[in-house]
Amino acid sequence: MNTQTEQLIDSLNDRDRETRLSALGSLVAAGGLTQLPWSEEVNNHVHTRYSFSPYSPAAVAYHARVAGLRVVGSVDHESIGAAEEMKEAAALVGMGATVGCEVRVSFKDTGFADRRLNNPDTIGNAYMVIHAVPAGSITALAKRLAPLNTAREERNRRQVDRLNGVIHAELGSLDYDREVRPLSWADDGGSVTERHILYALALRVLDAVPRADRIGLFLDDRLGLKVPDLIRDRIQDESNPHRAYDLLGAFKADFVPRFFEQPGEVECPPVREITTLARDIGAIPAYAYLGDVGESPTGDKKAQFFEDAYADQLFAALPELGYQAVTYMPPRNTKAQLKRVQKLAAAYGLMEISGVDINSSRQSFRCPEVLQPEFRHLIENTWALVGHEATTATDITKGIFGTTESTDTGSSVKERLAAFAELGKRSVER
């Protein structure tokens, strides 16, 4: 790779949107990307700098194309800021794109108020994804998300104060405005998350302990954090370009409870309010299935029990709560777990959507699991999301779950998905 190419790749994460897209256009014009092979793989759940990630939307498109993906989707926490750039960047590299956001909602007024759903840190709250947001609805969604981010930032400041009470003697105090918020793109419509706090903490540790071989000892003796041997080896390897992200993962798995403050009602609106919002703007509300977790691929989740013990009751309730889909991550679950999810989704007429939440430089953009026979329908469903966004760009009633008359694609979910998948493929071929 020559110096000019490296500079262009670096420019993909520039703070200026036009600079990012210009750099991507130059990389495409150079011809290297067009010569790369395609796979059939798709990934609908890549985070960008608009929440927490090493990648701007333009950088997501670039790395997804290098990985051979045919469709890539941006999903950020409480932010739809990536959407327009994601679509434009994907078009530049000849890929399909789908856009959405992730929101935490309250199940307090449901039969699952006392359950740990898919959120490791709270009871009665759940993550959900608003998928396939129509272009004309981006502004309205951003407006609704704004108060969630205001409340979250207020809580973040309190969390940093609590964290400083834990680390001050060993590391000094973090300054939210100088060390945490600048890591985000909050000024451009992004969100600030706990990961930003943990990344700032990781940078502080790496600066305070210049001898890499002593970081594990520092974490153990000074912060009371024991990390698995594999993660310790990674953190202590000075040649590892992902050290800060690996250290963040270790903190997220075991350190967060020391400073975490439960989000309030503003940050976690009632589930029916947000599923209704998604449907009203022509998007697709999806429950994010997590399932009981063993070993986490990124080291940021400890073994824990989630929905599996009561999945039958939960899935039966999802349509009444306003959900139209379930989204899951094939690499994170067992075949038995996902076979059960697929059976339940079919029983209650829920669309299945896949994706792997990329938020670390260590992670691969690929999702080869979707090439397996039992998951290949997820590829077609991804193309259906692309088709949904293409048709709802001018009329939000003409989406996958619109009326039969408005879509003219048949009455069953299966028939609609097949028809919209073809629409999606044709929209990218043009």
Same domain (yes/no): 271, 126: yes
- SS3 assignment, position 283: coil
Class of residue 16 by CB neighbours under 10 A (exposed 0-12, middle 13-18, buried 19+): exposed
Host domain of residue 204: 147-258
Q: Where are the alpha helices (DSSP H) in 222-367?
A: 229-235, 243-254, 271-280, 311-317, 335-347
* Total count of residues recorded for the chain: 430
Identify whether the C-beta of residue 96 lies closer than 8 Å to the C-beta of residue 350: no
Same domain (yes/no): 300, 398: yes
Same domain (yes/no): 16, 124: yes
Same domain (yes/no): 178, 271: no
Residue 275: partners with Cβ closer than 8 Å, 6 or more residues away: 105, 128, 285, 321, 322, 323
pLDDT of residue 253: 83
pLDDT of residue 413: 85
Same domain (yes/no): 130, 48: yes
The residue among 258, 279, 299 that closes a domain is 258
pLDDT of residue 409: 44
pLDDT of residue 302: 62
Residue 309: partners with Cβ closer than 8 Å, 6 or more residues away: none
Same domain (yes/no): 249, 303: no
Residue 326: partners with Cβ closer than 8 Å, 6 or more residues away: 286, 287, 288, 289, 315, 318, 341, 344, 345, 350, 351, 352, 353
CA distance 413 to 409: 10
Same domain (yes/no): 419, 306: yes
Helix (H) or strand (E) holding 328: strand 325-328
Same domain (yes/no): 281, 132: yes
Return the CATH number at 375.
3.20.20.140
The residue among 205, 229, 258 that closes a domain is 258
Same domain (yes/no): 25, 76: yes
- SS3 assignment, position 281: coil
- SS3 assignment, position 122: coil
The residue among 258, 274, 306 that closes a domain is 258
Structural domain total, the chain = 2
Same domain (yes/no): 272, 388: yes
CA distance 51 to 184: 7
Amino acid at 5: T
Whether the predicted model's global pTM rises above the 0.85 cut: yes
Residues of the chain with pLDDT below 50 are 297-298, 404-410
Same domain (yes/no): 243, 165: yes
Angstrom CA distances, 278 to 84, 101, 151, stand at: 18, 10, 21
CA distance 78 to 107: 18
Same domain (yes/no): 279, 362: yes
